[in-house]
Protein backbone atom coordinates (compact mmCIF):
# COMPACT_ATOMS: atom_id res chain seq x y z
CA UNK A 1 0.00 0.00 0.00
CA UNK A 2 1.25 3.49 -0.88
CA UNK A 3 2.67 5.55 2.01
CA UNK A 4 1.38 9.11 1.55
CA UNK A 5 3.75 12.01 2.19
CA UNK A 6 3.38 15.71 2.85
CA UNK A 7 5.67 17.49 0.41
CA UNK A 8 4.91 21.16 1.03
CA UNK A 9 3.07 23.52 3.33
CA UNK A 10 2.10 27.16 3.44
CA UNK A 11 0.18 29.07 6.10
CA UNK A 12 -0.83 32.70 5.78
CA UNK A 13 -0.40 34.77 8.96
CA UNK A 14 -3.25 34.31 11.43
CA UNK A 15 -4.85 37.67 12.19
CA UNK A 16 -7.65 39.18 14.26
CA UNK A 17 -9.61 40.40 11.27
CA UNK A 18 -9.50 40.04 7.50
CA UNK A 19 -11.82 41.26 4.78
CA UNK A 20 -12.22 38.32 2.40
CA UNK A 21 -12.42 34.63 3.30
CA UNK A 22 -11.80 33.42 -0.24
CA UNK A 23 -8.70 35.61 -0.42
CA UNK A 24 -7.33 33.87 2.68
CA UNK A 25 -7.66 30.46 1.06
CA UNK A 26 -6.32 31.74 -2.25
CA UNK A 27 -3.25 33.08 -0.47
CA UNK A 28 -2.56 29.75 1.20
CA UNK A 29 -2.88 27.70 -2.00
CA UNK A 30 -0.93 30.23 -4.07
CA UNK A 31 1.83 30.20 -1.48
CA UNK A 32 1.89 26.40 -1.51
CA UNK A 33 2.15 26.25 -5.30
CA UNK A 34 4.86 28.91 -5.33
CA UNK A 35 6.95 27.27 -2.59
CA UNK A 36 6.75 23.79 -4.13
CA UNK A 37 6.99 24.90 -7.76
CA UNK A 38 4.30 22.39 -8.69
CA UNK A 39 2.33 23.00 -11.87
CA UNK A 40 -1.39 23.47 -11.24
CA UNK A 41 -2.14 20.86 -13.87
CA UNK A 42 -0.38 18.23 -11.76
CA UNK A 43 -2.95 18.54 -8.96
CA UNK A 44 -5.44 15.68 -9.15
CA UNK A 45 -7.90 16.91 -6.53
CA UNK A 46 -8.45 19.52 -3.81
CA UNK A 47 -9.99 19.01 -0.39
CA UNK A 48 -11.17 22.24 1.22
CA UNK A 49 -12.13 22.61 4.88
CA UNK A 50 -13.91 25.20 6.97
CA UNK A 51 -16.15 25.23 9.98
CA UNK A 52 -18.13 28.23 8.81
CA UNK A 53 -17.15 28.79 5.18
CA UNK A 54 -20.51 28.34 3.51
CA UNK A 55 -21.17 26.41 0.33
CA UNK A 56 -18.57 25.58 -2.32
CA UNK A 57 -15.69 27.36 -0.57
CA UNK A 58 -13.11 25.19 -2.32
CA UNK A 59 -14.52 25.99 -5.75
CA UNK A 60 -14.59 29.69 -4.92
CA UNK A 61 -10.92 29.57 -3.96
CA UNK A 62 -9.87 27.63 -7.04
CA UNK A 63 -11.78 29.92 -9.40
CA UNK A 64 -9.46 32.76 -8.39
CA UNK A 65 -6.47 30.52 -9.14
CA UNK A 66 -7.72 29.25 -12.53
CA UNK A 67 -7.75 25.68 -11.20
CA UNK A 68 -11.33 24.80 -12.07
CA UNK A 69 -12.62 21.49 -13.39
CA UNK A 70 -10.81 19.11 -11.04
CA UNK A 71 -12.53 17.17 -8.22
CA UNK A 72 -13.16 19.37 -5.18
CA UNK A 73 -14.44 18.17 -1.82
CA UNK A 74 -15.65 20.54 0.90
CA UNK A 75 -15.43 19.33 4.51
CA UNK A 76 -16.99 20.60 7.75
CA UNK A 77 -16.19 18.92 11.07
CA UNK A 78 -16.01 21.90 13.50
CA UNK A 79 -12.46 22.49 14.78
CA UNK A 80 -11.45 19.13 13.32
CA UNK A 81 -12.43 20.21 9.79
CA UNK A 82 -8.85 20.69 8.58
CA UNK A 83 -7.63 17.40 10.05
CA UNK A 84 -10.63 15.64 8.51
CA UNK A 85 -9.86 17.12 5.08
CA UNK A 86 -6.26 15.96 5.38
CA UNK A 87 -7.48 12.49 6.35
CA UNK A 88 -9.57 12.29 3.17
CA UNK A 89 -6.65 13.46 1.01
CA UNK A 90 -4.32 10.94 2.66
CA UNK A 91 -6.87 8.18 2.07
CA UNK A 92 -7.13 9.13 -1.61
CA UNK A 93 -3.37 8.93 -2.08
CA UNK A 94 -2.99 5.75 -0.02
CA UNK A 95 -5.69 3.97 -2.04
CA UNK A 96 -4.30 5.07 -5.41
CA UNK A 97 -7.23 7.32 -6.31
CA UNK A 98 -4.86 10.29 -6.67
CA UNK A 99 -1.14 11.06 -6.78
CA UNK A 100 -1.20 14.73 -5.81
CA UNK A 101 -3.86 16.39 -3.63
CA UNK A 102 -3.96 19.91 -2.23
CA UNK A 103 -5.58 20.36 1.17
CA UNK A 104 -6.63 23.90 2.07
CA UNK A 105 -8.40 24.91 5.28
CA UNK A 106 -9.79 28.38 5.82
CA UNK A 107 -11.71 30.31 8.45
CA UNK A 108 -12.85 33.91 8.98
CA UNK A 109 -14.22 34.09 12.51
CA UNK A 110 -14.16 37.88 12.54
CA UNK A 111 -17.35 37.71 10.48
CA UNK A 112 -19.16 36.67 13.67
CA UNK A 113 -17.78 39.44 15.89
CA UNK A 114 -16.16 38.58 19.22
CA UNK A 115 -16.97 36.31 22.11
CA UNK A 116 -17.24 32.55 22.41
CA UNK A 117 -17.79 30.38 19.36
CA UNK A 118 -21.44 29.79 18.63
CA UNK A 119 -22.89 26.37 19.37
CA UNK A 120 -26.13 24.82 18.15
CA UNK A 121 -28.89 26.63 20.09
CA UNK A 122 -31.03 23.48 19.98
CA UNK A 123 -28.38 21.50 21.87
CA UNK A 124 -29.67 21.10 25.42
CA UNK A 125 -26.32 21.69 27.15
CA UNK A 126 -25.43 24.68 24.99
CA UNK A 127 -28.88 26.17 25.63
CA UNK A 128 -28.20 25.92 29.35
CA UNK A 129 -24.91 27.82 29.07
CA UNK A 130 -22.38 25.04 28.56
CA UNK A 131 -20.41 26.94 25.94
CA UNK A 132 -16.73 26.12 25.39
CA UNK A 133 -15.19 28.38 28.07
CA UNK A 134 -17.64 26.97 30.62
CA UNK A 135 -16.94 23.39 29.60
CA UNK A 136 -13.18 23.77 29.90
CA UNK A 137 -13.52 25.73 33.15
CA UNK A 138 -15.35 22.75 34.63
CA UNK A 139 -12.57 20.47 33.45
CA UNK A 140 -10.00 22.76 35.03
CA UNK A 141 -11.87 23.00 38.33
CA UNK A 142 -12.20 19.24 38.57
CA UNK A 143 -8.56 18.62 37.62
CA UNK A 144 -7.21 21.14 40.12
CA UNK A 145 -9.38 19.72 42.90
CA UNK A 146 -8.50 16.09 42.19
CA UNK A 147 -4.77 16.79 42.15
CA UNK A 148 -4.45 19.42 44.89
CA UNK A 149 -3.29 22.10 42.46
CA UNK A 150 -3.71 25.87 42.08
CA UNK A 151 -4.73 27.84 38.97
CA UNK A 152 -1.12 28.98 38.48
CA UNK A 153 -0.13 25.33 37.94
CA UNK A 154 -1.93 25.20 34.59
CA UNK A 155 -1.49 28.87 33.61
CA UNK A 156 2.13 28.15 32.68
CA UNK A 157 0.85 26.63 29.43
CA UNK A 158 0.13 30.15 28.20
CA UNK A 159 3.57 31.39 29.22
CA UNK A 160 5.26 28.57 27.29
CA UNK A 161 3.09 28.86 24.21
CA UNK A 162 3.33 32.63 23.99
CA UNK A 163 7.13 32.27 24.16
CA UNK A 164 6.98 29.77 21.29
CA UNK A 165 4.60 32.00 19.34
CA UNK A 166 7.07 34.87 19.64
CA UNK A 167 9.35 32.77 17.41
CA UNK A 168 6.66 32.04 14.80
CA UNK A 169 6.20 34.64 12.03
CA UNK A 170 2.63 33.54 11.24
CA UNK A 171 1.41 33.56 14.86
CA UNK A 172 -1.41 35.86 15.90
CA UNK A 173 0.47 36.80 19.11
CA UNK A 174 4.25 37.26 18.89
CA UNK A 175 5.08 38.56 22.34
CA UNK A 176 5.92 36.75 25.54
CA UNK A 177 3.87 37.05 28.75
CA UNK A 178 4.65 36.40 32.40
CA UNK A 179 2.78 34.06 34.71
CA UNK A 180 1.46 37.03 36.69
CA UNK A 181 0.17 38.65 33.49
CA UNK A 182 -1.68 35.45 32.62
CA UNK A 183 -3.24 35.09 36.06
CA UNK A 184 -4.17 38.77 36.31
CA UNK A 185 -5.76 39.01 32.85
CA UNK A 186 -9.51 39.35 32.49
CA UNK A 187 -11.51 36.53 34.13
CA UNK A 188 -13.43 34.48 31.56
CA UNK A 189 -14.72 31.36 33.35
CA UNK A 190 -13.17 30.61 36.72
CA UNK A 191 -10.36 29.54 36.97
CA UNK A 192 -9.59 30.46 33.33
CA UNK A 193 -8.47 33.97 32.43
CA UNK A 194 -8.30 35.66 29.04
CA UNK A 195 -4.69 34.74 28.34
CA UNK A 196 -5.51 31.09 28.95
CA UNK A 197 -8.03 31.07 26.08
CA UNK A 198 -7.27 30.67 22.39
CA UNK A 199 -8.26 33.76 20.38
CA UNK A 200 -10.78 33.72 17.57
CA UNK A 201 -8.76 34.32 14.41
CA UNK A 202 -8.86 34.51 10.64
CA UNK A 203 -6.46 32.42 8.61
CA UNK A 204 -5.77 29.69 6.11
CA UNK A 205 -3.27 26.87 5.68
CA UNK A 206 -2.52 24.48 2.84
CA UNK A 207 -0.46 21.29 2.51
CA UNK A 208 0.49 19.10 -0.43
CA UNK A 209 -0.31 15.40 0.04
CA UNK A 210 1.15 13.06 -2.57
CA UNK A 211 2.91 9.78 -3.26
CA UNK A 212 6.61 9.37 -2.53
CA UNK A 213 7.22 8.97 -6.26
CA UNK A 214 5.51 12.26 -7.02
CA UNK A 215 7.57 14.04 -4.35
CA UNK A 216 10.79 12.66 -5.85
CA UNK A 217 9.75 13.64 -9.38
CA UNK A 218 9.04 17.16 -8.16
CA UNK A 219 12.30 17.24 -6.17
CA UNK A 220 10.46 18.12 -2.97
CA UNK A 221 11.43 17.42 0.62
CA UNK A 222 8.74 15.28 2.19
CA UNK A 223 7.65 13.66 5.44
CA UNK A 224 5.81 10.36 5.73
CA UNK A 225 2.25 10.06 7.03
CA UNK A 226 2.47 7.02 9.29
CA UNK A 227 -1.02 7.36 10.77
CA UNK A 228 -4.20 9.31 10.07
CA UNK A 229 -7.15 8.79 12.41
CA UNK A 230 -10.54 10.47 12.83
CA UNK A 231 -12.80 9.53 15.73
CA UNK A 232 -16.10 10.90 16.97
CA UNK A 233 -17.48 11.18 20.48
CA UNK A 234 -19.36 8.38 22.20
CA UNK A 235 -22.75 9.41 23.56
CA UNK A 236 -23.60 8.82 27.22
CA UNK A 237 -26.51 10.18 29.21
CA UNK A 238 -24.72 9.45 32.48
CA UNK A 239 -21.89 11.19 34.34
CA UNK A 240 -18.64 11.48 32.40
CA UNK A 241 -15.06 12.04 33.50
CA UNK A 242 -14.21 15.58 32.42
CA UNK A 243 -10.49 14.97 32.95
CA UNK A 244 -10.26 11.99 30.56
CA UNK A 245 -10.90 13.05 26.94
CA UNK A 246 -12.23 9.75 25.62
CA UNK A 247 -12.43 10.81 21.97
CA UNK A 248 -8.72 11.70 22.05
CA UNK A 249 -7.73 8.58 23.97
CA UNK A 250 -9.29 6.33 21.33
CA UNK A 251 -7.76 8.30 18.48
CA UNK A 252 -4.24 8.37 19.88
CA UNK A 253 -4.27 4.65 20.68
CA UNK A 254 -5.27 3.87 17.11
CA UNK A 255 -2.69 6.31 15.70
CA UNK A 256 0.16 4.85 17.75
CA UNK A 257 -0.87 1.36 16.62
CA UNK A 258 -1.00 2.40 12.94
CA UNK A 259 2.41 4.04 13.15
CA UNK A 260 3.89 1.28 15.34
CA UNK A 261 5.26 3.79 17.84
CA UNK A 262 4.67 4.75 21.45
CA UNK A 263 4.54 8.11 23.22
CA UNK A 264 8.22 7.85 24.10
CA UNK A 265 9.09 8.02 20.39
CA UNK A 266 7.44 11.42 19.84
CA UNK A 267 9.73 14.45 19.49
CA UNK A 268 7.06 17.12 19.08
CA UNK A 269 3.29 17.37 19.30
CA UNK A 270 0.89 20.01 18.11
CA UNK A 271 -2.16 19.60 20.37
CA UNK A 272 -5.52 21.30 20.72
CA UNK A 273 -4.77 23.84 23.48
CA UNK A 274 -8.05 25.70 23.08
CA UNK A 275 -7.63 26.54 26.78
CA UNK A 276 -4.66 26.02 29.08
CA UNK A 277 -6.23 23.08 30.89
CA UNK A 278 -6.69 21.23 27.59
CA UNK A 279 -2.96 21.01 26.92
CA UNK A 280 -2.29 19.72 30.43
CA UNK A 281 -4.91 17.01 30.00
CA UNK A 282 -3.47 16.05 26.61
CA UNK A 283 0.02 15.52 28.08
CA UNK A 284 -1.61 12.69 29.99
CA UNK A 285 -4.00 11.43 27.31
CA UNK A 286 -1.24 11.24 24.68
CA UNK A 287 0.85 9.23 27.14
CA UNK A 288 3.64 11.71 27.77
CA UNK A 289 3.12 11.37 31.53
CA UNK A 290 0.88 9.57 34.00
CA UNK A 291 -2.64 10.78 34.84
CA UNK A 292 -2.54 13.60 37.36
CA UNK A 293 1.06 14.47 36.47
CA UNK A 294 0.42 16.90 33.61
CA UNK A 295 1.04 20.03 35.66
CA UNK A 296 4.31 18.57 36.95
CA UNK A 297 5.29 17.61 33.39
CA UNK A 298 4.84 21.27 32.43
CA UNK A 299 6.56 22.71 35.49
CA UNK A 300 9.62 20.49 34.96
CA UNK A 301 10.08 21.87 31.42
CA UNK A 302 9.42 18.53 29.80
CA UNK A 303 6.88 20.05 27.34
CA UNK A 304 9.24 22.86 26.26
CA UNK A 305 11.38 22.97 23.12
CA UNK A 306 14.39 20.93 24.17
CA UNK A 307 12.34 18.95 26.74
CA UNK A 308 11.11 15.36 26.55
CA UNK A 309 8.57 16.26 23.86
CA UNK A 310 8.10 19.79 22.54
CA UNK A 311 4.36 20.47 22.81
CA UNK A 312 3.02 23.23 20.57
CA UNK A 313 6.36 24.65 19.38
CA UNK A 314 4.30 26.75 16.95
CA UNK A 315 2.70 28.56 19.89
CA UNK A 316 -0.40 26.41 19.66
CA UNK A 317 -3.93 27.74 19.49
CA UNK A 318 -3.24 30.10 22.39
CA UNK A 319 -0.49 32.03 20.58
CA UNK A 320 -0.72 31.06 16.90
CA UNK A 321 -4.47 31.60 16.97
CA UNK A 322 -7.47 29.40 16.31
CA UNK A 323 -9.28 29.90 13.00
CA UNK A 324 -11.15 26.75 13.82
CA UNK A 325 -11.39 24.93 10.49
CA UNK A 326 -7.82 25.84 9.54
CA UNK A 327 -6.15 24.68 12.76
CA UNK A 328 -5.65 21.02 11.87
CA UNK A 329 -3.88 21.83 8.59
CA UNK A 330 -1.74 24.51 10.23
CA UNK A 331 -0.60 21.84 12.70
CA UNK A 332 0.45 19.62 9.79
CA UNK A 333 2.28 22.57 8.29
CA UNK A 334 4.20 23.02 11.55
CA UNK A 335 5.08 19.33 11.59
CA UNK A 336 6.36 19.63 8.01
CA UNK A 337 8.54 22.62 8.87
CA UNK A 338 9.90 20.94 11.99
CA UNK A 339 10.69 17.57 10.41
CA UNK A 340 12.34 19.18 7.37
CA UNK A 341 14.40 21.56 9.52
CA UNK A 342 12.65 24.74 8.37
CA UNK A 343 11.31 25.98 11.73
CA UNK A 344 14.00 28.57 12.41
CA UNK A 345 14.36 29.77 15.98
CA UNK A 346 11.66 27.41 17.24
CA UNK A 347 13.27 24.34 15.66
CA UNK A 348 13.01 21.22 17.82
CA UNK A 349 16.48 19.60 17.89
CA UNK A 350 16.81 16.33 15.95
CA UNK A 351 13.05 16.07 15.39
CA UNK A 352 12.05 12.92 13.51
CA UNK A 353 8.57 12.00 14.83
CA UNK A 354 5.64 14.42 15.16
CA UNK A 355 2.04 14.05 16.29
CA UNK A 356 -0.75 16.47 15.47
CA UNK A 357 -4.00 16.44 17.41
CA UNK A 358 -7.18 18.49 17.17
CA UNK A 359 -10.68 18.09 18.56
CA UNK A 360 -13.87 19.69 17.35
CA UNK A 361 -17.34 20.57 18.46
CA UNK A 362 -19.42 20.46 21.59
CA UNK A 363 -22.50 18.22 21.68
CA UNK A 364 -24.52 17.24 24.72
CA UNK A 365 -23.63 13.80 26.03
CA UNK A 366 -20.25 13.46 24.29
CA UNK A 367 -16.68 14.49 25.09
CA UNK A 368 -16.07 16.17 21.72
CA UNK A 369 -17.78 15.84 18.37
CA UNK A 370 -14.64 14.82 16.48
CA UNK A 371 -10.93 14.25 16.90
CA UNK A 372 -8.15 14.08 14.32
CA UNK A 373 -4.69 12.65 15.02
CA UNK A 374 -1.79 12.29 12.59
CA UNK A 375 1.65 10.78 13.06
CA UNK A 376 4.41 12.09 10.78
CA UNK A 377 8.01 10.91 10.44
CA UNK A 378 11.08 11.84 8.41
**DSSP assignment of 72-102, as one string?**
EEEE-BTBTHHHHHHHHHHHHHHHTS-SEEE
- What is residue 262's DSSP assignment? -
**5 vs 8: CA distance, rounded Å:** 9
Residues 186, 194 contacting (CB under 8 angstroms): yes
Q: For the chain, state the CA radius of gyration.
A: 19
**72 vs 367: CA distance, rounded Å:** 31
Catalytic residue among 79, 197, 210, 371: 79
| CA nearest to 102, candidates 37, 25, 36, 44 | 44
Task: Give whole-number Cα distances, 130 to 48, 90, 145, 193, 362, in Å.
Answer: 30, 35, 20, 17, 9
371 is catalytic: no
Pinpoint the alpha helices (H) of the chain: 21-36, 57-64, 81-95, 124-127, 132-147, 152-165, 179-184, 212-217, 246-259, 276-285, 294-299, 316-320, 327-339
**216 vs 7: CA distance, rounded Å:** 9
Residues 342, 11 contacting (CB under 8 angstroms): no
| CA nearest to 9, candidates 351, 328, 310 | 328
Residues annotated catalytic, as ranges: 79
Amino acid sequence: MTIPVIAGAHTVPFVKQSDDMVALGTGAVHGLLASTGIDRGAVDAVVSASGNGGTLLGQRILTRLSMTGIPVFNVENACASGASAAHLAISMVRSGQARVVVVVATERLSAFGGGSLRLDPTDIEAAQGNIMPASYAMRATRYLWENGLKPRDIAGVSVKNRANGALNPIARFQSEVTLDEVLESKPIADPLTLLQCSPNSDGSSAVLVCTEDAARELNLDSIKVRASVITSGLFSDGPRDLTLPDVTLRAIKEAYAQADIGPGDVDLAEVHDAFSIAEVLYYETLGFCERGQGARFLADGRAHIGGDVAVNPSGGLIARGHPVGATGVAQLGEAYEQLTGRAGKRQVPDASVAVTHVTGGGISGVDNGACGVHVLTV
